[in-house]
Structure 1
């Protein structure tokens, strides 16, 4: 199946592109963002400085540097504010824009973390539904799309939704 769920460390995956759940500065932070920046090395933050940040729902690409992935696609997810401030559309846009950027890079394989479900507080069930819906809609354009879970709960949600 072109869309797969797995539990693991996104920084260790040998794919064409990994997606970074970044903050708007793109200069590193906590969670997956910090892990990607640490694993990629200081060259990543140097390139990110030249991108002038990123708005929620958008995506920008850099090289992967010391990562096994050739590219990092940085996207800024929404902060959960109860669901009435366009969070679902912004999160869906993160997936769509990241997939669009991946295509422009010629990526055939891409891995996503659970965008916005950490410090940004997006409910995991809702976020998983959006992730699965948006990646399944694009599966014919890629050889492999990975939904990478950091924990068993998220992995279970992805697997249930993928059938």
Structure 2
């Protein structure tokens, strides 16, 4: 398989999103671009927990996109990934987009490894629901995993 994979974490408290982003992005040097609703933000913005909390606890809908040079998935580092933070109707969702080629290049070889990582992140940051798969990950036929376990696609 080769293509875009999406890892989704749904319904996260605003107070937990900053920690989650810090778990994904090792440092500000890993960030290449940040936008909110299409407008550029400073590269260090994702590391300002007060600014992030302000956006994610407001009554306004918002979309923050963070393009990174390096993203941590467990102890592995995936190159050139994107993090999307969506605030809508009082709910915060975070999704990570990467290519299966970049995942395999850093040594992620099994769906079980991705499931364990997503489950750990979900437990640590009190995520209501999580799943991952070929983009779009909500399509159950092309999921690598969901909250209940490994899905129908069993290899990257």
On whether the aligned pair clears a TM of 0.5, the verdict is no
TM, length-normalised to structure 1: 0.37
TM, length-normalised to structure 2: 0.38
Q: Which has the higher strand share?
A: 2
Q: Which has the higher helix share?
A: 1
